[in-house]
Copies of this chain bind each other. A is one copy, B any other.
Amino acid sequence: MKPSEGRKRILIEEIQPTVDYGRYPAKRVLGDTITVTAAIFGDGHDHVAARLLYRHHAQRKWNSVPFREINNDRWFATFPAGSPDDAARLGLWRFTIEAWVDHFDTWVHDLVKRLAAQPVPGLAEDQTGSVLRLSERSLPAGVERMPAGDSGQDIPLAFRIGANHIDAAASRAKAADARKLTAAAAALRALADQNLPVYDDPLTPEGILNPSLIALVEKYPDLAFATKHPIEFPLWIDRERARFSSWYELFPRSAGPAGQHGTLRDVAARVPEIAAMGFDVLYLPPIHPIGDAFRKGKNNSVTPQPDDVGSPWAIGNMHTGSPEGGHTSILPALGGFSDFDDLLNATRAHHLDLALDIAFQCSPDHPWVAQHPAWFNHRPDGTIQYAENPPKKYQDIYPLNFESTDWRGLWDALYGVFMFWIKRGVRIFRVDNPHTKAFPFWEWCIAKIQRSAPDTIFLAEAFTRPHVMYALAKRGFTQSYTYFTWRTTKSELQSYFEEICNPPVSEFFRPNIWPNTPDILHAQFQVEDLAQRSAVFRQRIILATTLSANYGIYGPAYELLEGRATKPAPGKTSSEEYLDSEKYQIRNWDRSSPGSIAPLITRLNHIRRDNPALQRNENLHFHAIPNDSLLVYSKSTGDHTNTILTVVNLDPLNTQSSMVELAMDKLNLPWDATYTVEDLLTQAQYTWHGPSNYVSLSPAATAHIFRITS
């Protein structure tokens, strides 16, 4: 069957930024300039024109901006996605592309060639006339001159064809514009009627076809056979913190004086110090009541002592036998809701976000277990299936059953948990193990939440297979934990960051990289020697803060270089579990320890704030250096006003030296440039020349973070 209109001759393909052909939104933040690219082309030799149509979901009409050609049928257009503070422009945007054959533009370019090919009468006699100027003038790049001897009689006919194009534009124009256009068409026909042997150029600023007249015609394109792409591609606009954030995680119960169960008030008292270190997200593990049933003791013991505080991720009831508790309540030992509100106000006063940990699982004494038995998986003996990942068993946790007959009720309850805390003022959630909950739930839940609170940020804690991690990001998670912890060699780091900082992954997956978490103490850190351990901790935080715009640490364990692990499980060479883990007990941290690297972390966070190049990822480029212990990479702002070049010694035992071979174009420097590199860690300055320069880093120095100035 024929299409309803067979004359739509333009094709639009390869549109970016898109995710899975428009099934999911690409992600950007407020204030970003969005660049849309596409292949746009038609049959034959006619010229093409195209425009980008875009709108925030609250706008009813499309905004429009013209596409410009890059090369080889590739086009681009840009638009601003709101201003950085315009919260009304958060959330879902859509864009699409409309393209058409531009017969008028084809005609203009054709006319230029015809004019240039006119015979030049009297050339030998008269070297001064306008005719000569015209025939000698330079043609636009890529335009071939018509063969000499071509009949000048084509030009009046060409003028008449152009006049018809201009009249057609007039018929689509507003009255005032239409009058101008009609007059120009008439003038062009009058010129044609003169049938001159040689014509002067009417495309000059003084001519009939002057630039403003050309622009006026292009203002009223003929869209009768325009192709509009059938997909309205979604684009998700977050607030800036989605792209650039520095997280600090601490256990509130360890925030109190030695020997006491810390409270939310103790946490509030620490906020100024955390803010002064340069963090902008304070993240707390779950603050809810902890189940009594099968409570875990210190070091994950299954035989707890009566005073053991249990794991905050085993969410239970307010106190033994109480039917209250769960995910919308606060562990009494931490305080009450007014304490929580005060903490929230303290973080706000210091421009921090408070991030809560949402772990959708229940201790056996969680109220939902009794109230909603259908949300759990019952076994033939009537018991509820506890969490298991054979051979591991988590008897203190019941997973939720996403194949429940009451899945609708379950979804509503989980959505309700988020909304409860959003109504209290929380806007960042770190979601525990989202990959063990059904994908359709996340897609629905996050979209529904962000319709009313589009400034909400979700961090996915899914340490699992790449497809699963990416699927969660596509379905709405704002940021994601990564494999960074286990990428330690130069080649591992480079290939992993090249994967996650470039399309297609970077369009939907925002890495938030953590050198440590309460669950993961990498073997690299488990070093007895303090100097060596310190070198590893410094190296990893420098990598984290300069490779990724989003990062976080679990403190004070990190700045205090906590490296003691439990004994490895049978058959394993190392454990990633902390000895005396805060997951199961209160820890007292000596933050005044002279070995603390808090000053370095503070410096790094301020370098990140001062240098916008470090606040985004798509600009990451690795440079060549023929030493496998040295990693070199740069980040630049789009306008190259800020460029940071980082060199990291990955060897915590030895000084490493090498010539670095810089890709000068990535630094926006000419091949033979002389430029200054200023180490933002030491304030030392060096003058460098060209791409090849010498670097040498001891384990104590660890890294250069150079700002490049020319």
Contact = CB atoms under 8 A, between A and B. Distances in A.
Interface of A: 1-3, 6-9, 11, 13, 20-21, 39, 41-45, 72-73, 101, 110, 113-114, 117, 144-147, 150, 157, 160-161, 164, 225, 379-381, 389-391, 402-403, 407-408, 411, 435-441, 444, 465-468, 471
A113 to B, nearest CB: 5
A145 to B, nearest CB: 7
A403 B407 CA distance: 55
A407 B6 contact: yes
B146 A6 contact: no
Contacts of A44: 435-437
A465 B408 CA distance: 53
A43 B390 contact: no
B436 A8 contact: no
A81 to B, nearest CB: 25
A117 B467 CA distance: 31
B381 A441 contact: no
Contact of A3 (B6, B7, B440): B440
A2 B412 CA distance: 10
Given A144-B391, A467-B73, A438 B160 contact: no
A379 B161 CA distance: 7
B380 A161 contact: yes
Contacts of A157: 379-381
Contact of A380 (B160, B435, B444): B160
Contacts of A45: 389, 436
A623 B507 CA distance: 35
A9 B402 contact: yes
10 contacts: A6-B402, A6-B407, A7-B438, A9-B403, A9-B440, A11-B471, A13-B471, A43-B402, A43-B468, A144-B391
B41 A72 contact: no
Given A3-B444, A403-B7, A403-B9, A436 B467 contact: no
> Nearest 10 CB-CB pairs, A to B?
A160-B380, A21-B21, A44-B436, A73-B467, A146-B391, A9-B438, A6-B407, A39-B467, A7-B403, A113-B390
With most chain B CB atoms within 10 A of its CB, the pick from A20, A147, A408 is A147
Given A11-B471, A43-B439, A471-B11, A225 B403 contact: yes
A117 B393 CA distance: 14
Contacts of A389: 45
Contacts of A379: 157, 160-161
A596 B390 CA distance: 74
